[in-house]
Amino acid sequence: MSDSRDTSPVAPPLLPVGGAELRRDPALHEAVRRVGQRVGVDFTDDEKVREELRRGRDALAGGSATTGPGCLAFLLLIVAAGLAVADQISPPLTAHRPALLAGAGVCAVLAVAAMGWAVARWQRARRDPVLAAYREVLALAQAHGLTLTHVQDWLVGKAGGSSKPWYPLPEVAPPGAATGTTPPPPPSAPRDADDVRPPHKPAEVTAWERTAGQGGWHDELGGLLALAGTSAAVWAYVEDQPVGYAGLVLGLASAIAVWVLGHRQGVRKERGREAALRHLADLRAAQAAGAAVPELSPQLRRLLEEDGTDG
């Protein structure tokens, strides 16, 4: 029996900017090289950058920086709460209430200290020198006219799409700002026939972007219509008014129509989402081949975060 598993190669995670783009501009390449020398990382090596980003994300999102102190603080709080009410659970301990309260206070203080330790370690992980240097690299790329596909929320300390980043990209003056010269225009097209062009966004993905945040109300509306129809039938039975049964038929028919409409919309959105995931895979493959990938739409950025392939 043949093996039906998919053995096609998986495209690497999408980076904010590829190493090939950083190397195209000699001035930018030199500036990135100097930043990398400070922390011992070649930021034009995409695989090395992905490894450092994976390490940083695991340390923050995975909780390795705060797991130990956080668990200790949680356990100390449990012990403090138990000591504070131990005499109420076990009356013989009433005579030792001052000692129990003192122990609860000590545990509470230690819990606060452990929580502070966890926050300090989390902040130290946020200020990791390699991540700070990479934020500077991204700022340099923007200053030299390159377009970033996206900037991961965790990299700049954003808790949500609209929140203010804790660690924004640093301000970098455009090249030529000190001398008053005009900065070079951003490279918008491949420079020769050997350069790779980014894939064109399919119309199905564009349509999905317009409706990605819509919908979700069909089930509720259908339920309300069915409830209204049922209520009409109950009224018809209690009041002996046959006309009320028409409300049952109308309510159920309307509910079914709304549910069918919602199902069709859900199918279309799922197909669009699958097309968007394929488009992201094409973008990752193009970037790995050296293409300049354009900035992602907010919908594609959210999908990239959900898919876990954002570097």
- The yes-or-no verdict on residue 46 having pLDDT over 60 is yes
What is the Cα–Cα distance from 41 to 30, expressed in whole angstroms?
A: 14
Tell me which of 105-109, 173-177, 260-264 is least confident. 173-177
Mean pLDDT of 149-171: 79
* Average pLDDT across the chain, whole number: 80
- The yes-or-no verdict on residue 132 having pLDDT over 60 is yes
- The yes-or-no verdict on residue 192 having pLDDT over 60 is no
Handedness of CA 112, 113, 119, 122 (dihedral sign): negative
Tell me which of 19-23, 100-104, 123-127, 169-173 is least confident. 123-127
- The yes-or-no verdict on residue 184 having pLDDT over 80 is no
The distance in angstroms from the start CA to the end CA of the chain is 37
- The yes-or-no verdict on residue 152 having pLDDT over 50 is yes
Tell me which of 124-138, 161-175, 214-228 is least confident. 161-175
Q: What is the pLDDT of residue 266?
A: 82
What is the Cα–Cα distance from 74 to 92, expressed in whole angstroms?
A: 27
Confidence of residue 188 (pLDDT cuts 50, 70, 90): very low
pTM of the model: 0.64
- The yes-or-no verdict on residue 233 having pLDDT over 90 is no
What is the Cα–Cα distance from 254 to 142, expressed in whole angstroms?
A: 53
Confidence of residue 67 (pLDDT cuts 50, 70, 90): low
3-state DSSP of 106-130 = HHHHHHHHHHHHHHHHHHHHHCCHH
The per-residue pLDDT for range 211-232, each reduced to its tens digit, is: 877 666 777 888 898 898 888 8
Confidence of residue 45 (pLDDT cuts 50, 70, 90): very high
Given a contact cutoff of 8 angstroms between Cβ atoms, the answer to whether 41 and 174 are in contact is: no
